[in-house]
Amino acid sequence: MEISFVDLKAQYDSIKADIDAAIKSVIDNTAFIGGPIVREFQAKFAEKYGVKHCVAVANGTDAIYIALRMIGIGDGDEVITTAHSWISTSETISQTGAKPVFVDVEPDYFTIDPEKIEEKITERTKAIIPVHIYGQVCDMDRIMAIAKKHKLKVLEDTAQAHFSEYRGTRAGLIGDVATFSFYPGKNLGAYGDAGAIITNDDELAENMRMFANHGALIKHQHKMEGINSRLDTLQAAILAVKLNHILDWTQARRDCANRYDKLLGGIDGLVIPKVRPNSKHSYHLYVIRTDRRDELKSFLASKGVPTVLHYPTILPLLKPYEKYGYTPENFPVAYQNQNTILSIPIYPELPDDHQAYIVEQIAAFFNK
Ligand SMILES: *Cc1c(COP(=O)(O)O)cnc(C)c1O
């Protein structure tokens, strides 16, 4: 049995005819950038997600940068975000000229701790980026209350949380603007780089669309300088096909997680992921915790079970942020997670017998 961490081929095989036809039609029409297929995907994504505007861009990192710039973030500003994320969240803050200000995470949920946000707010603070990490939604009520009180913008980094829900509202529909990644391994994945930004704000949507396309909505009519961050038509065509299946795939991830919860729940020395009350997780990743993480990781590798660390080092302790002088003591919860987390395989097509084998090996490790 060959266990994969994620198997993108299995998903392709399940929708092969539609994907192949979509790719062929793009090539037949030789419209490789923009055109009706990109516009259709944006409209379809916006409709499915329940939002007014979807601006498709080249990748999820650009999505954050574009959104930050167009909500007015720039030189000298500060943007608050979580210590526990992928570097896109903080490097884009720096790219705008602003300073990323990191906050520790909540003990149970891996997400930014609202309790520790206000102490980081200064007169330079302009925005907060909550990251719905692994598919777990942040404590948005408390984050929005803080943002309102201090007049801060909220950008939800929803790269890992397509179709997650918080109190009946989809992740990404609570703040001012939200960004998605369609990196191949994400819950909705293209066959290359792709991303999108959603908002209900008409003016912001238009500005983001313009900025992502050299500052022009109509060719040669540049209203500002922008960047080149367009979604390829091929990726739009592929994503439009996959969008038809995303709710089923998200449910399959939840079912898979529920089985893990049941099978791994009682093991001594192992902590399974907890879901925030009144919310729906979308399980981009299923992350367990144990003090014997490194030992477990090598044991599983020796049994043919691939695992990954998301992520080996928390953001404030990465080299580019050395200049700020952060220490592990500044982020005790995130730092402890850094040393105990382990992502085990989860994807919609994960075969039952693979899952049973993975659980069996984890149980064997703890019982030996
Ligand atoms: C994947 C990811 C991004 C960036 O997306 P790309 O499409 O790879 O640029 C941003 N934030 C988080 C939390 C991510 O996981």
Q: Which is nearest to 154 in space by CA: 143, 139, 138?
A: 143
Q: Classify 232 as helix, strand or coil.
A: strand
Instruction: Report which protein residue has its CA nearest ligand 1's atom 5.
Output: 60
pLDDT beneath 50: ranges in the chain? none
Is residue 355 in contact with ligand 1, taking CB distance under 6 Å? no
Instruction: Give the pLDDT confidence score for residue 344 in this predicted structure.
Output: 98
Work out the number of other CB atoms within 10 angstroms of the CB of residue 289: 17
**Angle (deg, nearest 10), helices 36-49 and 233-243:** 30
Distance CA 174, CA 148 (A): 12
Distance CA 102, CA 250 (A): 30
Instruction: Give the pLDDT confidence score for residue 66 in this predicted structure.
Output: 98
Task: Please state the atom number of ligand 1 nearest to the C-alpha of residue 193.
Answer: 7
157 CA to centre of ligand 1 in angstroms: 8
What's the length of the chain?
368
Distance CA 159, CA 300 (A): 28
Instruction: Give the pLDDT confidence score for residue 368 in this predicted structure.
Output: 67
Distance CA 296, CA 315 (A): 24
182 CA to centre of ligand 1 in angstroms: 8
Residues 310 and 343 sit within 8 Å (Cβ to Cβ): yes
What DSSP character marks residue 104? -
Is residue 61 in contact with ligand 1, taking CB distance under 6 Å? yes
Residue with tokens 């297929």: 37
Instruction: Give the pLDDT confidence score for residue 17 in this predicted structure.
Output: 98
How deeply is 105 buried, as exposed, middle or buried, from its count of CB atoms within 10 A (0-12, 13-18, 19+)? buried
Give the pLDDT confidence of 254-311 residue by residue, as tens digits. 999 999 999 999 899 999 999 999 999 999 999 999 999 999 999 999 999 999 999 9
Is residue 59 in contact with ligand 1, taking CB distance under 6 Å? yes
Instruction: Report which protein residue has its CA nearest ligand 1's atom 6.
Output: 60
Distance CA 14, CA 324 (A): 48
Q: In sequence order, which residues have a C-beta less than 8 Å from that of residue 360 and are 6 or more positions away?
A: none
H-helix segments, the chain: 8-14, 16-29, 36-49, 60-70, 88-95, 140-149, 202-211, 233-243, 246-264, 293-302, 332-340, 352-367
Residue with tokens 């379809």: 44
Distance CA 123, CA 137 (A): 28
Reply yes or no: is the peptide bond before residue 321 cis, omega within 30 of 0: no
Work out the number of other CB atoms within 10 angstroms of the CB of residue 157: 30
